[in-house]
Amino acid sequence: MKASDWLKTRFNNIDIFDEHFANEAKTNPFYALGGIFYLIWFIVMFTGLVLIMWYIPTKSSAFDSILNIQHHIPFGNIMRGMHKYGADAMIIAATMRLYRMFLSADYKPGREFNIAIALITLLLSMYSGLTGYLLIWNQRAFWATKVFATFPTYMDQFPFWGDFYLPLVKSLHMGWNTAEFLLGAGGAITQETITRFFSLHLAFSLIPLIAVELYFYKTGYKRIPINWLKRSVIIAMLLVVSVIMPAALGHRSNPDVTPLPILSDWYFLGLYQMYKYLEPVVATEITMIIPILVVLLPFIDNWVTGPEKSLSKRPLMFMITVMGFVNWAAFSGLIIANVANIHSDPPYWRDFLYLMINAGMLLQLLVYWRDRNIAQRARYAFGALVMGIFCLVQSLVALTYYYMARTEMFLSPVTQAFTYWLCRPFMGDNAARAEAAVRQLCALKSNPPYWFYQDLLQKTGDLPGRRELEALNSVAGSSTDFDRLFQAIPTFLPGEQYKGLIDFMVSNRWCFDYITFCDRMNGLVKPYPVDVPPLDWGWMAAAPVCAAACFFTWLKFKSQGTQKLTQKPTAEPEPAATAF
């Protein structure tokens, strides 16, 4: 199939709100979730526009305006309650719809893009809720936003685009500029923040609504494929909840008093717990990777199970879905109970995450082996290969984690140290000279640190460690066979470029990472190396075991398919002569 035909098929099969399942929605409420989401979206938009009439988006008046709406405006408490609980209902409906699509394989055949659409719907709802959360300007919202706003700044520590290591995009300051764009005022929570969040809160709803309306106008699909009785029930449910449980106000924000624990709205609680269990840089990386993996899952399932939609024959997808839900629910419960210690809590969650996936892979292989059809087994061979490759990735993650745990170094320094080790043979004796100079300079604990050695050497007067800096500058200029590759990397420093491989490794602190890693692994720095938590050996050992099972299945099924193709058909016996 041509790429254009492949894309055209999937674009034609796109569902924004389950419009292709209008008939199923009449009998199955799970297929009405798209229409329910759209209906609640209109309710939230309507109540939001009503609230804007009295809301004042300023630091001094925001909380008081909410008090006025809640207690003095006729039906203001109901409008605010329906707006708040409607936003929660949107997130619940979008989440349930996404899980339904995975469990029912609604992305088959040719509907893989619907997962991305459903995920975007969920994320827009969550971020619309996040921006609206601050507008109350109460104590809980203020501090939750302050904590959440620090997350983007960790992008500056990412390998290969962050400011800490490779200065390829150093002038962009991705993390800090993202926080500045969202918050303003140098990353602090000020009037600029509430203004920007107010505009973003409207944009996350109005702009997608216009786009969706244009889509329905062009296609002619029915927007809400549920009857008026069901619509009335949904509206009545929101109304009753708003009356029985008025939306909470909390206490006025106080920048001088930090509440403990700091909690965001319920749908972000699991994410906050993850940030407690992981180093912030790694947690930020995982937060960005998760949406990408969700979008890729339908394609992976297609490779593993083909057109099969029965859940009993897709155990891998079932286990991944259960794992995702249980992790989110457990993390949310733990942070509410204020139970989280990265240094002492047993890593049950890592075992559960990986072992659930590994169990799904083994069950999927069992489904393969139970099918006696040789032709079908030949098709399953590719699925076994795909799972085997993912097990190899898990094995690589386990190996990296082993060294991270033993040295208590972040992911980035460990990967930089490993890269330096790969490049070290091409440096010859100069590698040892560079490492010796870096060790001596690190012992001096100078400020600015040694990696600014070229700028430091230009200064006049007494300079601590000048002799070591000159030695480092000399060895950094030594040539290697790969210098041209590293000289092509821009530094965004006018008129300057890397001298070559060694200069790059020294200036970006990869040489320092290698020294730190080796010293800790060799026990030169106490108390390193530390022991790997015993529970982690479960998922670390499961990776190569599952990989072996997957690759054995792949080779076996592939050989069976090859034998069938090369086997010559048996000649039919000639009919016996008829006696007359």
21: three-class secondary structure by DSSP: helix
The rounded distance, in Å, linking the Cα atoms of 302 and 299 is: 5
The rounded distance, in Å, linking the Cα atoms of 80 and 75 is: 9
Would the CA dihedral through 138, 141, 147, 148 be positive or negative?
negative
- What token pair was written down for 329? 């629910």
Phi, psi of 164 (to 5 degrees): -75, -35
Query: Cα–Cα distances in Å, from 114 out to 19, 192, 480?
Result: 12, 36, 50
Neighbours of 361 (CB within 10 A): 27
- State the DSSP code for 138: B
- What token pair was written down for 466? 């000048």
Neighbours of 232 (CB within 10 A): 10
Alpha helix locations (H) across 245-310? 269-277, 280-305
Report the predicted TM-score, pTM, of the whole model to 2 decimal places: 0.87
pLDDT of 452: 63
- State the DSSP code for 526: T
Enumerate residues 6+ apart whose C-beta is below 8 A from 372. Answer: none
Query: Cα–Cα distances in Å, from 201 out to 129, 207, 234, 414, 559?
Result: 8, 11, 24, 40, 57
Enumerate residues 6+ apart whose C-beta is below 8 A from 346. Answer: 533, 535
Query: Cα–Cα distances in Å, from 231 out to 16, 29, 45?
Result: 19, 12, 16
| Burial grade of 158 (CB within 10 A; 0-12, 13-18, 19 or more) | buried
Q: Quick check: 488 and 166 in contact, CB under 8 A?
A: no
- What token pair was written down for 379? 């098709």
Query: Cα–Cα distances in Å, from 375 out to 347, 353, 395, 560?
Result: 43, 33, 31, 9
252 beta partners: 138
pLDDT string in tens for the chain (580-residue length): 578 888 888 998 999 999 989 889 888 999 999 999 999 999 999 999 999 999 999 998 999 999 999 999 999 999 999 999 999 999 999 999 999 999 999 999 999 999 999 999 999 999 898 889 889 999 888 888 877 777 777 777 776 555 554 444 444 567 777 777 777 766 678 888 899 899 999 988 888 988 998 998 888 888 888 888 989 999 999 999 999 999 988 889 888 887 777 777 888 888 888 878 887 778 888 888 999 999 999 999 999 999 999 999 999 999 999 999 999 999 888 888 877 766 667 788 889 999 999 999 999 999 999 999 988 999 999 999 999 999 999 999 999 999 999 999 988 889 889 999 999 999 999 999 989 888 887 777 665 566 666 666 666 566 666 777 788 888 888 899 999 988 887 765 555 678 899 988 888 888 989 999 999 999 999 999 999 999 999 999 999 999 999 999 999 999 887 776 666 555 555 554 443 2
